[in-house]
Structure 1
Amino acid sequence: MRICYLIPGCGVSGGIAVICQHTERLQARGHEVYLIVDGRLGDMSWFPGQSVPVLPLADYPEAVDILIASSWSTAARVPLLPAKRHGYFVQSDETRFHPPGSGWEHITRLSYVIPFNYLTEARWIRTWLQTNFGHKAALVPNGLDASIFYPCEPLAPRGRRPRILLEGAIGLPYKGMYEAFAAVKEIDAEIWCVSSFGKPDPAWRCDRFFSSVPMDQMRAIYSSCDLLLKLSRVEGFFGPPMEMMACGGAVVVGRVTGYDEYIVDGENALVVDPLDIPAARAAVQRLLEDTALRERLIANGRATAARWTWEASIDRLEQALQGFLAEPSRALSAQQRAVAESVAYFYGELRGEPMLPKPRAIPSNIHLAADPTELLVGRLRKQAWFRVLARWLVRGYQQWRSLVKAG
């Protein structure tokens, strides 16, 4: 199969990393795979062994079997590009990325109305798509790449104090980094932080900061720390807690959508309300003080990570894609394409960059039906005497308004 994933950019991202796992492994199975960038091309060497061709939108290949949207910002573009089947790999309810009631929230929700061939990484997203939009999505769970995440030599020897890792994009409030820093503020520990977007506030206590870390360097950071605290409020199937488990660390997470795909409170992690800072602080302190509990969670976490293999997930992905091609009903109809074009039109309006071709100019000898008054005013505007009369009337009105105010 010739398969393309449309991605919004090339920067370090958990969502893009998952797509790279899809594309690299599909390519290894003999499929012709491309990453198409709807934006600026960039360096993707942050993903270990990245070898799938990365193309700009202008070089979109011919005879594509399946084209897959990877996010809300690419979903509007995908139906406009030629392919036998159009898919949408949904990694979260991305309406939550935007302010409630905003145009961006609404246009993101409309992306789920388009009748794509749906794929998703989490059971809760599959249920959400079925319940809210009537889509039956193929489930392709995320895996853990054991060749990337495993215990290794720490970046710095551990000292007397324990070391706590906070991970998440600081510039995105829903990643909960403010709450995480507040939770560890009074704990006697060394604080490390990893962020792909944004830096710690100078008022926050941070002993070591890492920005946009390549994936194959993350295991050294995980292996340097005793505990990961992650208080995201929006996730799909979040990878860092499982990565920390694979590297031999303990985990405290917020109760966020997707946490229960593999986390069991008290078995392989501790789970708290992501906005309850005192509860998060107490959970971290408990793990630091209770050695037996910490060691039990670490052992169970390693066993959890070992069960989530990428090969099993790619088996599911390959079967789903072959199924999409096998069923004639999986192709977009003319009516469905029209819906997709309307979504693309309004998305382009919001971002100030049209996604659809400009309409052809209407020949001067063709007159469209219009309100008779508008046609009359339009003709009068072309007359010099009418423009003079209009200016005289406006001046007279302004003088009259001045006299009324003065009186």
Structure 2
Amino acid sequence: MKVGFLVNDLQLSGGVGVVVQHVHQLRSRHGFDARLVLVREQDDPHWAHHTLEGIPVESLATAREQPWDIAIGTWWETAFSLFELDAARHAMFVQSLEDRFYGADEAERVTAGLVLDLPVAFITEARWIRDTLAELRPDARCHLVRNGMDKEVFAGPAEIVPRLREPLRVLVEGNPSSWFKHVGAAVEAAGTMAEPRHLTVVSGERAAFAHAGIDRLVGPVSQRE
């Protein structure tokens, strides 16, 4: 089974990390010939993630010359290239309703929403997205495929020691320049807590945080960190 996942780039982000993991698992655990297809020319080097090792990365030009069993778009912009691949089946991997990432006055909001009208099957990792797609597109097939948990990263401790008398530890992660993540509002909300708390913020945009009450500021960090 030859599967191509179309991506804009291979820079560090949560969405790209999920796609890379799915490709890695399809190759290592299921024996699929799963590959990444870059739909754009790249100016920056790829994100140096260990699971990228051994995964073929094709340009759109080379991908057009090959037959595929399944071609999967992974972000609304990749839909422009999806049908350029000679594939028996086409699908979109929907990790969010992507029109919500744009303001009401931005044209991209409309274009991102139109992707859900494409004649493709849908794959999603979230029940609420599956249920929403079932209402919007009752004619389309939609598959729920959970991301799972990477036990190498999120390993359970052998023993949990209660810390009943210590402050509540609050973690806020994200870049404040992504307005839809409301990172600033989360930091402010933690700052209004009446009970003792220890606030850690993880962000690559350290200079943007001038908030009083942040106990620890970390970042940027690698995915493994």
Shorter chain as denominator, the TM-score bin is 0.7 to 0.9
Residues 1:172 and 2:178 are matched in the alignment? yes
Question: Greater strand share, 1 or 2?
Answer: 2
- Quote how far apart the aligned CAs of 1:161 are: 5.3
Percent identity, please: 29
Aligned-partner Cα distance in 1 for 2:170–2:67: 50
Aligned-partner Cα distance in 2 for 1:68–1:197: 32
Aligned-partner Cα distance in 2 for 1:186–1:95: 32
Amino acid in structure 1 at the alignment position of 2:79: A
> Secondary structure in 1 aligned to 2:132?
helix
Aligned to 2:145: 140
Residues 1:75 and 2:75 are matched in the alignment? no
Question: Greater helix share, 1 or 2?
Answer: 1
Aligned to 1:34: 35
- Quote how far apart the aligned CAs of 1:204 are: 4.6
Aligned to 1:321: none
Return the match for 1:127 from 128, 131, 136.
131
Return the match for 1:89 from 63, 87, 93.
93
Amino acid in structure 2 at the alignment position of 1:13: S
Aligned-partner Cα distance in 2 for 1:121–1:19: 11
> Secondary structure in 2 aligned to 1:129?
helix
Aligned-partner Cα distance in 2 for 1:124–1:163: 29
- Quote how far apart the aligned CAs of 1:185 are: 1.9
For the 8 Å contact 2:206–2:217, the answer to whether it is kept is no
Q: Which has the larger radius of gyration?
A: 1
Moved over 6 A (4+): none
Residues 1:16 and 2:27 are matched in the alignment? no
**What whole-Å deviation, never above 9, does each CA across 1:159-180 have from its counterpart, x for those lacking one?**
x755421112321122121111
Amino acid in structure 1 at the alignment position of 2:199: I
For the 8 Å contact 1:3–1:67, the answer to whether it is kept is yes
- Quote how far apart the aligned CAs of 1:104 are: 0.7
> Secondary structure in 2 aligned to 1:65?
strand
> Secondary structure in 2 aligned to 1:44?
coil
- After superposition, the Cα gap between the structure-2 partners of 1:108 and 1:81, relative to the gap in structure 1 and judged at 3 Å, is same
Amino acid in structure 2 at the alignment position of 1:90: V
Aligned to 2:51: 49
- Quote how far apart the aligned CAs of 1:55 are: 2.9
Amino acid in structure 2 at the alignment position of 1:209: L
Aligned-partner Cα distance in 2 for 1:76–1:210: 37
For the 8 Å contact 1:170–1:200, the answer to whether it is kept is yes
> Secondary structure in 2 aligned to 1:216?
coil
- Quote how far apart the aligned CAs of 1:199 are: 5.0
Higher relative contact order (CA 8 A, sep 6+): 1
- Quote how far apart the aligned CAs of 1:140 are: 0.7
> Secondary structure in 2 aligned to 1:145?
coil
In structure 1, stretches of 5+ residues that fail to align are: 153-157, 218-407
RMSD: 2.4
Return the match for 2:154 from 149, 152, 157.
149
- Quote how far apart the aligned CAs of 1:189 are: 3.6
Aligned-partner Cα distance in 1 for 2:37–2:3: 10
For the 8 Å contact 2:67–2:85, the answer to whether it is kept is no
For the 8 Å contact 1:70–1:90, the answer to whether it is kept is yes
Residues 1:209 and 2:212 are matched in the alignment? no
For the 8 Å contact 1:76–1:111, the answer to whether it is kept is no
Aligned-partner Cα distance in 1 for 2:18–2:201: 22
In structure 2, stretches of 5+ residues that fail to align are: 158-162
Aligned-partner Cα distance in 1 for 2:191–2:5: 42
**What whole-Å deviation, never above 9, does each CA across 1:351-372 have from its counterpart, x for those lacking one?**
xxxxxxxxxxxxxxxxxxxxxx
Amino acid in structure 1 at the alignment position of 2:184: Y
For the 8 Å contact 2:36–2:57, the answer to whether it is kept is yes
Aligned length: 210
Return the match for 1:106 from 107, 110, 114.
110
Aligned-partner Cα distance in 2 for 1:198–1:94: 26
Amino acid in structure 1 at the alignment position of 2:32: H
- Quote how far apart the aligned CAs of 1:12 are: 1.7
Aligned to 1:310: none
- Quote how far apart the aligned CAs of 1:214 are: 2.5
**What whole-Å deviation, never above 9, does each CA across 1:50-72 have from its counterpart, x for those lacking one?**
32122333332612221100011
